[in-house]
Chain A
């Protein structure tokens, strides 16, 4: 039996970070008491009319520009008709023909370093549905319409992914991009970023297999597990001579399996048509220009610049472009520490990352601002303190003891770079360890490090290590 190839396409729902809903002035804030953010428009009371949110349109367009897609100068809203209590109009306002974003691509990088460029089919604007609570009541379902009308873009990829690892890498790339663009908070727990996966398997060279759609998976790990499970299930079925039924399946994280949610018979017959309540959305050339001009440097471009122009390692470049706030922090520190990208990267990915991790804080809550860190690094660059002492200063800064300079002065940490002073200290040291000196001169080279260690200890780490090395070698080798 020849090998099966999985074919996967993702539909990612990205909740746009607007204050108000897509078609009403109700708040989109998460976690409010049920139905306290439900306007008459959201509740579909007769006589109400939707008015589109300009910022949601701009955010969708910004996404399109960032992925190199065609952003439509004119796009239209359509009604997607279905009955379900959490959609009180009896239809969802979405886009069908003429979505706002067509085409484009996203570069995804896998854990093994491999890169894939994932083609997008489209990204369209739509409103979210409300929430149904089935467990709270015995014979009824409870409906909360706070989420109804929240703006989303649904990002649809071409079926070009061939493993769960590729799917997750792609999902992470989109996640990074939408947060970078400031159009989505990326909160998976709260459902701001969730995904449906279309999975099929076939043998290369034969037509594509029948696909199943796995609905609403809201963690990277679950996407990986759900897809892996589904691939295996389909292969097993096909090898047993069974047929795959086109259907929608739900992933059950507790059991780590997918199960049938609804089959094709009940499935999509949405009878889309243009929403007569909503004239087309137009974006003028001037607005396009403004959107383009406001686009930040994107993570892929920034990563390439860090590698090529700054000479950072792939590890550092990846870490520093995972998140825009961290990247901007790096940019700010580097601006005050010119010519030292590696030093700045080491400190941000090292000490700072560790401190933030320990405090479970993100960069926005860092106790050491970019200017403060630059102040510390300046003292390393000008030789006032060693890298080792700087770590102590960093810890003191983190404990809010003051600026780098204040701490260095208060604790008398300035590096000793006076050759005379270091020389006399070394003379005393050699007198103190005659046995070791003799052994070194007899050929035991590793005793050199012992003597350096003693010298650093004698100066509480403050002696300039390069000078200690040079002056010590001079003394030991001169009188050999």
Chain B
């Protein structure tokens, strides 16, 4: 199964990638190679196995419901590109 241009554009949109036309072919090739790998995986005989959500058979370890975090806003501000009035500023997004 080869990836089509329309699918490539859809994926780029979902990933919020501004995909230059010049790169489309190379990216399509990469994705096709990945799909080849997936096709190979799908050939594996797994009918007798119960699907696993995680490679290791362990349960999540849980934490007690306690507030043990301090105010990190000044540290976050130091690495944020833009912050004002305690808010991270991002390009305007309106649905």
Point out residues on A near B: beta carbons under 8 Å.
18-20, 24-27, 33-40, 43, 51-57, 74, 76, 81-85, 97-98, 132-134, 136-137, 139-145, 261-262, 269, 271, 274, 276, 278-282
User: A280 near B53 (CB under 8 angstroms)?
Assistant: yes
User: What residue in chain A is nearest B94 (Cβ atoms)?
Assistant: A134
Smallest Cβ-Cβ distance to A266: which chain B residue: B13
Chain B contact-residue range equals: 35 or more
Q: A143 touching B65 by the CB < 8 A rule? A: no
Main secondary structure of the interface of A (DSSP, over half): loop
Contact call A133/B60, Cβ cutoff below 8 A: no
Is B54 a contact of A20 with CB atoms below 8 Å? no
CB distance from B83 to the nearest CB of A (A): 8
Q: Is the CB–CB distance between A143 and B73 below 8 Å?
A: no
| A134 near B92: Cβ-Cβ < 8 Å | yes
Secondary structure call for the B interface = loop
Q: List 30 A-B contacts (CB under 8 A).
A: A20-B69, A25-B66, A34-B73, A34-B85, A35-B73, A35-B86, A35-B87, A39-B69, A39-B72, A51-B62, A52-B60, A52-B62, A54-B63, A76-B54, A82-B14, A133-B87, A134-B92, A136-B85, A140-B89, A141-B91, A141-B92, A142-B84, A142-B88, A144-B86, A144-B87, A269-B14, A274-B54, A279-B53, A282-B59, A282-B60
| A25 close to B69 (CB less than 8 A) | yes
CB neighbors of A among B31-87 (8 A)? 53-54, 56, 58-69, 71-73, 76, 82, 84-87
Determine if B66 and A20 form an interchain contact, defined as CB atoms under 8 angstroms apart.
yes
Most A CB within 10 A of own CB, among B67, B82, B91, B95:
B67
Shortest Cβ gap from A379 to chain B (Å): 45
How many A-B contacts are there with CB distance less than 8 Å?
A: 136
B53 lies within 8 A of A134 (CB): no
Q: Which 10 A-B pairs have the closest CB atoms?
A: A142-B87, A55-B65, A34-B86, A54-B62, A25-B68, A282-B59, A274-B53, A143-B88, A76-B53, A140-B89
Q: Is the CB of A83 within 8 A of B15?
A: yes
Contact A85 B93 (CB under 8 A): yes
Is B62's CB under 8 angstroms from A145's CB? Answer: no
Shortest beta-carbon distance, A335 to chain B, in Å?
A: 32
Is B22's beta carbon under 8 Å from chain A?
no
Which residues on the A side are within 8 Å of B91 (C-beta)?
139-141
**B26 contacts the other chain (Cβ, under 8 Å)?**
no
Residues of B within 8 A of A262 (CB): 95
Closest to A143 in B: B88
Q: Which residues of B contact A82 (CB under 8 A)?
A: 14
In the complex, what distance in Å separates the CA atom of A246 from the CA atom of B26? 35
CA distance A132 to B90 in the complex (A): 10
> Which chain B residues border A136 with CB–CB below 8 Å?
85, 87
